[in-house]
Chain A
Amino acid sequence: LLQVRTADSPHPRFDLNNDASLVIDIPDALCERDKVKFTVHTKTTLSSFQKPEYSVQRQHEDFIWLHDTIVETEEYAGLIIPPAPPKPDFEGPREKMHKLGEGESSMTKEEYAKMKQELEKTVQVHEVFLQRLSSHPMFRKDRNFQIFLEYDQDLTVRRKNAKEMFGGFFKNMVKSADEVLISGVKEVDEFFEQEKNFLLDYSSKIKDATAKAEKMTRSHKNVADDYNHISGALNNTAADNNTAFKKHLEKCAEVFEKLRKVEDRMASDQELKLTELLRYYTRDIQAAKDLLYRRARALADYENSNKALDKARLKGKDVAQAEENQKQCLQKFDKLSESGKKELTSFKARRVVAFRKNLIEMTELEIKHAKVRRLKCYVYHYMFIRQCSGILI
């Protein structure tokens, strides 16, 4: 059983709450066995809600359910659907958690810290998902969103029913067809032409940057682990020794332990600010591409309806029906285009804001950690030098 109060987290979170009428946050999360239970806290002045404040327990699967219902809502076809949060990943720690449940000895400090970091990451990404919904004029009014925030019981039953109803139409589509369809569209609108080219290119670049950032972060963690092993080995060597060497080795072990701590912190900060940012926007870019896909499909539908109308006119049969169909297809396409334009424009603004915020925070943290490390090295350096002159032992 591992509980993390994210309010205590040293990392400032995304916090997209831009409107006091609906404020959502995840103040803590509970890690039980291999399930994570998020506490979703809502404060609202909206009349559509029955109470001004709610606090409910939700699991990851509930978030996915909410995401899926939104994706499958026809009304939202012209919007960028906030990407679903990825499943919490507690691979290694999970085994430990199982063992804990079976009454084994407790986790080491390092394992606990790693779990905590993972928990912080997953809370951040689940929180952002909800905040994206709450800060959007249309999503915040969504009925299922409200249920998600309000319903004080377990959502499991509801989720099962929903699956039967919807059948996951959009989700079952083969995603790889998207790119072909999008790039195949004969675009008359300059805006969408540019956006399409941009998104296709950016999408592959950001995927690559994410992968490289992940590798870099992992290397940092490896270095921190090595410092840990070196510190341990130095202590082991000191234990077998009883000469002046022993004290010296112990001091060196201390140095490496301190180095490890800073390196660990740097690695996890870099992950939260840089790697997670890139990961998130990789998913968001995909959501934007999905919007283009839906619009492209609507355009295809419209073109088909035109062909059908021409055919009907030639045959002289069902013309009214074909005309109605064409009108509806055009309406849908226009609606998607209009709303899509707004969404993509605000998407760029949002992206820029998020990158700016995270790059600034990452840089400030890098500077802070480097200064801390420099200071510690100064101190130890000074101490060792004094030792040499025989002033300190």
Chain B
Amino acid sequence: MESPEAARLSAEDISPSSNGPKAEPMLLDDDPDDLFAEATEEVSLDSPERQPILSDGPSPVITPVTPVMISSRADVFDRSPDQDEDEEENRDTFDIQISVSDPEKVGKDVCDSLSLCLQTSLSIFSRDEVCVKRRFSDFLGLHSKLASKYMHMGYIVPPAPEKSIVGMTKVKVGKEDLSSVEFVEKRRSALERYLLRTVKHPALLKDPDVLQFLESSELPRAVSTQALSGAGILRMVNKAADAVNKMTIKMNESDAWFEEKQQQFENLDVQLRKLHASVESLVCHRKELSVNTASFAKSAAMLGNSEDHTALSRALSQLAEVEEKIDQLHQDQACADFYLISELLGDYVRLITAVKGVFDQRMKTWAKCQDAQVMLQRKREAEAKLQHANKPDKLQQAKDEIREWEGKVQQGERDFEQISKNIRREVGRFEKDRVKDFRVVIIKYLESLVHTQQQMIKYWEAFLPEAKAIA
């Protein structure tokens, strides 16, 4: 039965270069100790020079974003009419397509240099089509810059892909190692998703570092910020969390929304990790199924050779061929399982960490505000004392200090208000995006399944007359 949707549903290769290896499934876990050794300069959040580029907050206009694709293929469905209710509706639709390709080996790293191609109709870009070359460290550098600029303002900065030492050490010089092919595709795909998520963020899209990254043919050699591993960023985030834990005055959460959301994200973190583990298990077992099917195919072929009844022998050989083809289907399906679902879940687990991070940033901001108030109080007390001593210079100094700290308190309160507002908006955007993301993924996954089933039906229907021909 061919429905009109069948044509649209014919999925192309989910992952262009990977062949679904027969090797062990790759673990995504980093060994943090090794990565700490690699991390160079740590970006400090408290550094006063870090000024947000957009000091007046993000752009008030949020355009309805076309669900950005996971790869650069056309999406099956039309633009979503989803709109951000808080913002003006922008009638202009825009699209941006990013593809990361041509991974090249540089030194020990098998996937270090990549081509980044951008196609867009947006006016903020100088050209419609740009292609540039970037190193993996450049991506990490971009992320660390964005994190340092925006995280403390409550923006959810999409995390950069992991360095994943495991993949690198599996590389054998010169020999085509299946697991290195998989590693390269994993990284390429992860970098593409990372960029797409980054440009989806309306504020980040306008960030000059992002624009430069996407457009400039040559990136300036990072002066103060070198590549930070994912674990380095994690450390930065954890520092904020530690600071929160060390707070002696517990924040009096007057806003139930924040309390509720924080709890939700804690739960979501746990649940997504479990879900991710289940999906990784599926990928693993699907690969095993592929191996076992191929193995059975060989065995069936041998059995067919041994069989002395001619027609049955032929049928068994045909069966072996069918099973071989099905093995390939299993491999393709395993890829879909992995690249569509498993990687998405992995991305979201990391994203949730970033979300939890901004909540911690807010608490830090509050703490700073509190500290400033305490300081102000002290200065006032000091000034009061000096009123009765006859030291006009010191008194003036005290008054100056009071004014200074009043300013700081005001700034602190403004910062706190601002970050709270930002977080509300960011979380709203995040919650909308995740529904879209998961929807896109399940749709693509169903497409991949339909495709697999079509093929399977074809193969078995071709075999059926062979089976019937056994006389």
Contacts and interface: CB of A to CB of B under 8 A. Distances in A.
Given A241-B264, A374-B454, A382-B5, A356 B470 contact: yes
B285 A219 contact: yes
Contacts of A206: 303, 306
Contacts of A388: 77-78, 80, 439, 443
B467 interface: yes
Contacts of B450: 374, 377-378, 381
Contact of A389 (B77, B264, B281): B77
B5 A209 contact: no
A280 B288 CA distance: 25
B435 A244 contact: yes
A352 to B, nearest CB: 5
Question: Which of A198, A220, A388 counts the most B-chain CB atoms under 10 A from its CB?
Answer: A388
A169 B198 CA distance: 79
B299 interface: yes
A212 B446 contact: no
Interface stretch (B244-252, B271-279, B376-384): B271-279
A255 interface: yes
Interface string B427-457: 0000100110011001100110110011011
Contact of B267 (A220, A240, A380): A240
Contacts of A380: 442, 446
B240 interface: no
B127 to A, nearest CB: 31
Interface string A204-216: 0110110111011
Interface stretch (A132-140, A151-159, A225-233): A225-233
Given A367-B464, A381-B443, A236 B271 contact: yes
Nearest to B319: A359
Contact of B282 (A223, A352, A364, A378): A223
A371 interface: yes
Interface stretch (B87-95, B139-147, B213-221, B289-297): B289-297
B300 interface: yes
Interface residues of A, number: 63
Contacts of B443: 381, 384-385, 388
A212 B295 contact: yes
A346 interface: no
Contacts of A215: 292, 295-296
Interface stretch (B13-21, B100-108, B307-315): B307-315
B457 A205 contact: no
Interface residues of B, number: 64
Contact of B447 (A255, A359, A381): A381
B462 to A, nearest CB: 10
Q: Is the interface of B mostly helix, strand, loop or mixed?
A: helix
Given A202-B307, A237-B271, A370-B460, A359 B286 contact: no
Contacts of A384: 439, 442-443, 446
A216 B268 contact: no
A205 B435 contact: no
Contacts of B268: 237, 240-241
Interface string A356-393: 10011001101100110110011011101101111000
A211 B300 CA distance: 11
Contacts of B78: 388-389
B3 interface: yes
Given A248-B438, A374-B457, A381-B9, A356 B467 contact: yes
Question: Which of B5, B309, B446 counts the most A-chain CB atoms under 10 A from its CB?
Answer: B446
Given A201-B306, A248-B435, A248-B438, A230 B467 contact: no
B312 A356 contact: yes
Interface string B350-364: 000000000000000
Contacts of B5: 378, 381-382
A260 to B, nearest CB: 11
16 contacts: A213-B296, A219-B292, A226-B279, A226-B281, A233-B278, A244-B431, A245-B435, A249-B438, A259-B449, A352-B470, A356-B312, A360-B464, A378-B5, A381-B447, A382-B5, A385-B443
Given A378-B5, A378-B450, A388-B80, 5 more contacts: A259-B449, A363-B460, A367-B464, A387-B439, A389-B80
Interface of B: 3, 5, 9, 76-78, 80-81, 264, 267-268, 271-272, 274-275, 278-279, 281-282, 285-286, 288-289, 292-293, 295-296, 298-300, 302-303, 305-309, 311-312, 315-316, 319, 431, 434-435, 438-439, 442-443, 446-447, 449-450, 453-454, 456-457, 460-461, 463-464, 467-468, 470
Shortest Cβ-Cβ A-B pairs, 3 listed: A219-B289, A374-B453, A226-B282
